[in-house]
A and B are shown apart, each in its own frame.
Chain A
Amino acid sequence: NAGVTQTPKFRVLKTGQSMTLLCAQDMNHEYMYWYRQDPGMGLRLIHYSVGEGTTAKGEVPDGYNVSRLKKQNFLLGLESAAPSQTSVYFCASSRDRVYEKLFFGSGTQLSVL
């Protein structure tokens, strides 16, 4: 049982490059989320989705785009990476309402030089 899988686990980008982080869940969850974790800041919500084909902005959406074309996948895109986007990114999913327990992936360490 894989749960929530994130790829890649590590990535180094140059400023201005683009990339896509992939999140896949095999629990048939409706809700999916992208968080970033920075020192002294905790986890902050970037974007989330309440079902296939839907997306919504979280606390810190600027510089990111997302897509949920299939229920099991949630993609996070950086069109033009900036050093401020250096962070650890976590994907999570949940069955329904927000206060349900989230299941997190193991994270993607992204460095933007």
Chain B
Amino acid sequence: DQQVKQNSPSLSVQEGRISILNCDYTNSMFDYFLWYKKYPAEGPTFLISISSIKDKNEDGRFTVFLNKSAKHLSLHIVPSQPGDSAVYFCAASDSGTASKLTFGTGTRLQVTL
């Protein structure tokens, strides 16, 4: 049972435009959410996070939105740059239970010139 879902395996966006990556979760106990970015032949690196007490968190060009009632989060990248081309994983955690993050399946973003 996939508790964290990224339904779009890939996304192509033009440079300068907005990229929107989506993530849905089913476990209502999840209260902390993160986005990781992964380049080929490298490990994932942390990008941005959000706690369930917030509905938005911003860091430069990256903004994460959380809609708890819909169990949905999204990552907005504005403006998109070619260096943003990577696989993006969302991940969720229940801070009250055992030590693990549950990852989504990833979305491959390609930013074209």
Tell me, yes or no, whether B101 is within 8 Å of chain A by CB: yes
> Contacts A48-B99, A101-B49 hold; do A42 and B106 have CB atoms under 8 A apart?
yes
Q: Kindly provide the distance from the CB of B105 to the nearest chain A CB, expressed in whole angstroms.
A: 4
Across-interface contacts of A58 in B (CB, < 8 A): 100
B43 and A105 form a contact (CB under 8 A): yes
Across-interface contacts of A43 in B (CB, < 8 A): 44, 89, 103
Across-interface contacts of A41 in B (CB, < 8 A): 105
Size of A's binding interface in residues, CB under 8 A: 27
B93 and A98 form a contact (CB under 8 A): yes
A56 and B49 form a contact (CB under 8 A): no
B43 and A90 form a contact (CB under 8 A): yes
> Contacts A42-B105, A101-B49 hold; do A50 and B43 have CB atoms under 8 A apart?
no
> Contacts A40-B105, A45-B100, A58-B100 hold; do A4 and B43 have CB atoms under 8 A apart?
yes
Q: Complex formed: what's the CA distance from A105 to B44 in Å?
A: 8
Tell me, yes or no, whether B34 is within 8 Å of chain A by CB: yes
A48 and B100 form a contact (CB under 8 A): yes
A44 and B103 form a contact (CB under 8 A): yes
Identify the closest chain B residue to A91 (Cβ).
B43
A99 and B105 form a contact (CB under 8 A): no
Across-interface contacts of A90 in B (CB, < 8 A): 43-44
14 inter-chain pairs at a CB distance below 8 angstroms, sorted by A residue, are: A42-B4, A42-B6, A42-B103, A42-B104, A43-B89, A44-B103, A48-B100, A58-B100, A98-B99, A102-B46, A102-B101, A104-B44, A106-B41, A107-B41
- Residues of A at the B interface (CB closer than 8 Å) are 4, 31, 33, 35, 40-45, 48, 50, 56, 58-59, 90, 92, 97-99, 101-107
- Known contacts A42-B103, A98-B93; 10 additional CB pairs below 8 A are A42-B4, A42-B6, A42-B105, A45-B100, A48-B100, A56-B98, A58-B100, A98-B101, A106-B42, A107-B43
- Residues of B at the A interface (CB closer than 8 Å) are 4, 6, 9, 32, 34, 36, 41-46, 49, 89, 93, 95, 98-101, 103-106
Q: Which 10 pairs, one residue from A and one from B, show the smallest C-beta to C-beta distance?
A: A104-B43, A101-B46, A98-B99, A99-B32, A42-B105, A43-B103, A42-B103, A99-B93, A45-B100, A104-B44
